[in-house]
Amino acid sequence: MKKSDLVFIPPPGFGHLVSIIEFANRLLQRDERLSIIVLVMKEGKENITKLDSHTNISFIELTHVETPTRDQLMSKSVEKYMTDLVESHKSFVKDAIVKQILPNSPKVLGLVIDLFCTPMIDVANELGLPSYLFFTCNADVLGFMLYLPHPHDRVGKEFEKSESESIIPSYLNPVPANVLPTFAFNKDGYISMVNHGRRFKETKGILVNTFLDIESYAISSPSTLDLPPIYPVGPLINHKNQNGMQSNNQGQHDEIIKWLDEQRESSVVFLCFGSRGWFSVPQSKEIALGLERSGHKFLWSIRIASDNKPIPYENIDHKTILPDRFLDRTKGKGFICGWTPQVEVLAHRAVGGFVSHCGWNSILESLWFGVPTLTWPLYAEQQLNAFQMVKELGLAFELKLDSRRGSDDIVKGDEIAKAVKCLMEEDSEVRKRVKEMSLKSRKALIAGGSSYASVGQWIESMFASI
């Protein structure tokens, strides 16, 4: 059978790649008429190799583009850096499609682009191909992105942290300024995201990594009325080798799982803050004191960085950053490490709570396994995610909603201990709601489920438009 090609264009960021490659894998398992080609920017090549992918996914590495150093661009705005990087690849994307894909493909169904890749809509239009947006965040954040051009057209500048609440159509409650993403207060990042939000409407469909039961209001909110069709296709979770590092950390992996195997069911609180999440030494010491005072066993993934060197590192002498004799006092009660196999840990029967940065992938993973979350957002859209989980959905406990990486504000140990105790309560309403949502997230993906049906509708709409 001759297959029809879909061309995926992800940005280099690892968190975006995880869900987009998982979606590609599922499409190939779902419909044998499809073949998928992923165009890889060189900056993302290392991340692509970390991910398990279907044998029918092919990869084309794009010509490398010389840009200012990552540190120079990231110092202004990670959003502007990603946008400029994608923009600089437009001619190379077009060249790859024209010279390597179209001559060898019976039919190209269209381009599937990430939220940072809206410049590629121009390429699709020039080649007479439809473009589809793959939105790695949730539907509430999609609504925020669609909302951004409206205040910008009135005011013409970024948000102020002192501003009052905003009425954003995808949210049930007014959204305080202090939970808006950091880019909302940064001129360069803000303008980049306003421009992306404008262009979402130019696509032929929007695929969102969410499911109807958790975000029915946002998916059907008034802000979606003048949009292309929205297809909830999640939750997209990579259950195997989810961060591509297990083979390089097999010894650490085995130690973690062995330690968890020895613990009682739902007795361990798990702390992990993403690939870019880190805390200062003073804050790390307060976390340690809070864990000790909570009385609960813990598995803690520690990374350290600084404003001068913002890339987190894991090879740490823990004695130098933790309170005196903390490791001695908590011996047998806690396990401290750098890398962790997050999905496998959340799936383990011993884990009863998750202290998280509230990245959307992490939220979906914790819900899938029925593990309640304690919110500690740090960067990107995580403050909005934390607000949604606590205030909109009642699916998480609040430690912080407005914290930001590198802030001088220190959360004290006593506050952490109190919050962890709430998180680990066996019969809390939040825990019950999370367990219920776990079942709904799984049902969404099977035949008859909302996301299963949504993916089928999108596939058929593509073939019908040929």
38-60 pLDDT, tens digit per residue, is: 999 877 556 566 666 556 799 99
Mean pLDDT along residues 114-142: 97
- The pLDDT of residue 304 is 75
Mean pLDDT along residues 356-367: 97
- The pLDDT of residue 449 is 98
Under DSSP, the state recorded for 328 is: H
pLDDT at 300 over 70: yes
Element (H, E) at 253: helix 250-261
Q: How far is CA 363 from CA 242, 274, 388, in A?
A: 14, 11, 11
Rounded Cα distance between 181 and 97, Å, is: 34
Rounded Cα distance between 134 and 141, Å, is: 13
Sheet holding 108-114, edge to edge: 57-61, 34-40, 4-9, 108-114, 131-135, 206-208, 230-232
- The pLDDT of residue 36 is 97
Q: How far is CA 356 from CA 31, 293, 423, in A?
A: 35, 19, 12
- Read off the amino acid at residue 300: W
- The pLDDT of residue 432 is 98
Query: Could you tell me the pLDDT band of residue 12, with boundaries at 50, 70 and 90?
Result: confident
Rounded Cα distance between 335 and 80, Å, is: 38
- The pLDDT of residue 303 is 82
Q: How far is CA 327 from CA 292, 313, 323, 340, 425, in A?
A: 10, 20, 8, 19, 25
Rg (CA), the chain: 22
Interstrand relation of 108-114 and 334-337 (parallel, antiparallel or unpaired): unpaired
pLDDT at 73 over 60: no
- The pLDDT of residue 273 is 94
pLDDT at 245 over 60: no
- The pLDDT of residue 52 is 60
What are the structural domains, with CATH classification, of the chain?
4-234+446-464 (3.40.50.2000), 246-441 (3.40.50.2000)
Mean pLDDT along residues 72-80: 72
Backbone angles phi, psi at 356, to 5 degrees: -135, 155
- The pLDDT of residue 170 is 94
Percent of the chain predicted with pLDDT > 90: 77
Q: Is the peptide bond before 12 cis (omega within 30 degrees of 0)?
A: no
Tell me the HSE value of 192 on the side-chain side, using a 13 A CA sphere: 22
- The pLDDT of residue 48 is 62
Handedness of CA 60, 48, 144, 220 (dihedral sign): positive
Rounded Cα distance between 253 and 219, Å, is: 38
What average pLDDT is seen over the chain?
91
Tens-digit pLDDT profile for residues 221-238: 856 567 899 999 999 998
- The pLDDT of residue 227 is 87
- The pLDDT of residue 448 is 96
Mean pLDDT along residues 286-304: 95
Query: Range with the lowest mean pLDDT among 71-80, 346-355, 405-414?
Result: 71-80
Query: Could you tell me the pLDDT band of residue 143, with boundaries at 50, 70 and 90?
Result: very high
Query: Could you tell me the pLDDT band of residue 63, with boundaries at 50, 70 and 90?
Result: confident
Tell me the HSE value of 304 on the side-chain side, using a 13 A CA sphere: 15
Percent of the chain predicted with pLDDT > 70: 90
Rounded Cα distance between 283 and 378, Å, is: 13
Token pair of 91 as six digits: 């001619």
- The pLDDT of residue 241 is 52
- The pLDDT of residue 248 is 62
- The pLDDT of residue 47 is 59
Token pair of 385 as six digits: 């995610």
Residue whose structure tokens are 């008859």: 448
pLDDT at 388 over 50: yes
- The pLDDT of residue 465 is 86
- The pLDDT of residue 243 is 46
